[in-house]
Amino acid sequence: MAAPAMLHLTIWIGVPVLAAFALSFTSYDVLSSPEFIGLENYMDLLHDSVFRRAMINTLVYVFFVVPVAMALGLLIALMLNMQIRARALFRTAVFIPQVTATIAVALVWLWIYDPRSGLFNAILSFFGFPTHDWLSSTTLAMPAVILVGIWQGIGLKMLIYLAALQALPEDVYEAAAVDGAPKWRQFFSITLPLLKPTTFFVVVTSVISAFQAFDLIYILTDGGPANTTSMITYEIYKSAFREFRMGYACAQSIILFVVLVILTIINRRINGGDRGDR
């Protein structure tokens, strides 16, 4: 059973990762053969202000999108775990952004953010507030992108938390209720600790997913204005496919890979990994 998985891992993951690592030490423009240049790409990255900016933007995006979407996902999962009317409908509604193509999502949000005919400005105008050009403002563009990222990310987190909530043992809650523990105490003392393995899983997958934010940026802002919304993946894409600097893009990818590994290790230390406190 392990052999096909190992084969897949080797061919489709191992080889590309090794190839990217090797190419990161070369000057490779696709048009001609790779030329070994040692650490030059990495040295260039140290002085690349745009890449630095993209790294900061990505961290800001992850910092806001992951915890907010997780908190909202958990909150909605708690509500949808209760016996309420049209529960299936609500679950579907929350999950729909997750299964909708990001391009379609982004196009809808482009309209929502449209400075002249968009929904947001129409609402602001209706209540007499000043309107904004959301995606052209250096201060508003990133929050605007983050908002879409949060909105789109809630569904999957909600689903995972909902599945975990439904698997929690009822007897623990019954015992707590007998001991007179109020609901909020049950949540913080029972639910959250029991959800720790789920939370670890959600954090890791959410961080990786948020670090890979690309299509939203591609459609909504093109990284602008003035690189204020450019992310690491978008810079990798531009270096590789628009600027013909494949070796440089590979070095950027390796940096992203290392950052993700470090964050996963840190998170594992903080959260105690996928061990539950049962």
Partner 1 sequence: MELTRRSLLAAMGVGTTALLAGCGGSNSSSSSTGSAGGDPADVSGDITFLCALFEGATGKETLEGNLLKTFNQQYPNINVTIDYTNYSKLNEKITTALAGGLMPDVLTLGVGWIPPFANKHAIAPIADSLATRYAYQSRVLEPARFDGNLYGLPMVLDVRVGAYRKDFFAEAGIDAPPTNWTDLRKFAKELTVRDSGGSVIRAGFDPFSIDLRQGWETFLFANGGEMFSEDGREVLFGGDEGVEALQLYIDLVGDGSAIFANETPEKGMPSSLQSGNSAMMMTDNSLMLTLLDQAPELIRDDKVGWFAVANPTPAIFQGGTIVSQSATSKHPEAAAALVEFLGGQDAVLAACAQRGSVPGMDELLTSDFVAGNPFVKFALENLDKSRPEGGTPAWMEIREKIKPTLQSAVVGQQSARAAIDELTGIAEAAIARL
Nearer to partner 1, 70 or 236 (CB): 236
Q: What are phi and psi of 277, to 5 degrees?
A: -100, 45
- Of 62, 150, 164, 240, the one binding partner 1 (CB under 8 A) is 240
Choose among 194, 211, 203, 205: nearest CA to 252: 211
Distance in Å, CB of 227 to partner 1, minimum:
5
236 binds partner 1 (CB under 8 A): no
Q: Are 246 and 28 in contact (CB under 8 A)?
A: yes
241 binds partner 1 (CB under 8 A): yes
Q: Which two tokens stand for residue 23?
A: 């190419």
Distance in Å, CB of 57 to partner 1, minimum:
12
135 binds partner 1 (CB under 8 A): yes
Q: What are phi and psi of 124, to 5 degrees?
A: -60, -45
Interface segment toward partner 1; rule CB under 8 A; list 4-12, 132-140, 177-185, 196-204:
132-140
Residue type, 127: F
17 binds partner 1 (CB under 8 A): no
Distance in Å, CB of 59 to partner 1, minimum:
19
Build a one-symbol-per-residue string for 258-277: x at contacts with partner 1 by CB under 8 A, - elsewhere: --------------------
Q: What are phi and psi of 189, to 5 degrees?
A: -95, -20
Nearer to partner 1, 69 or 251 (CB): 251
24 binds partner 1 (CB under 8 A): no
- Of 243, 272, 274, 277, the one binding partner 1 (CB under 8 A) is 243
Residues comprising the chain, all counted: 278
Please state at what angle helix 102-113 crosses helix 141-167, rounded to 10 degrees.
Answer: 130
Per the listing, tokens 């990762």 go with 17
Nearer to partner 1, 206 or 221 (CB): 221
Alpha-carbon distance of 61 to 28, in angstroms, equals 30
Q: Are 53 and 227 in contact (CB under 8 A)?
A: yes
Alpha-carbon distance of 87 to 64, in angstroms, equals 28
Pairing, β 35-36 against β 26-27: antiparallel
31 binds partner 1 (CB under 8 A): yes
Distance in Å, CB of 18 to partner 1, minimum:
17
Nearer to partner 1, 58 or 199 (CB): 58
- Of 26, 221, 233, 252, the one binding partner 1 (CB under 8 A) is 221
Build a one-symbol-per-residue string for 45-64: x at contacts with partner 1 by CB under 8 A, - elsewhere: -----x--------------
Within a 10 A sphere around the Cβ of 155, how many other Cβ atoms? 22
Q: What are phi and psi of 160, to 5 degrees?
A: -65, -45
The 3-state DSSP class for residue 251 equals: helix
**Total residues at interface with partner 1 (CB under 8 A):** 31
The residues of the shown chain that bind partner 1, judged by CB under 8 A, are: 27, 29-32, 50, 115-116, 130-131, 133, 135-136, 138, 141, 221-227, 230, 238, 240-246
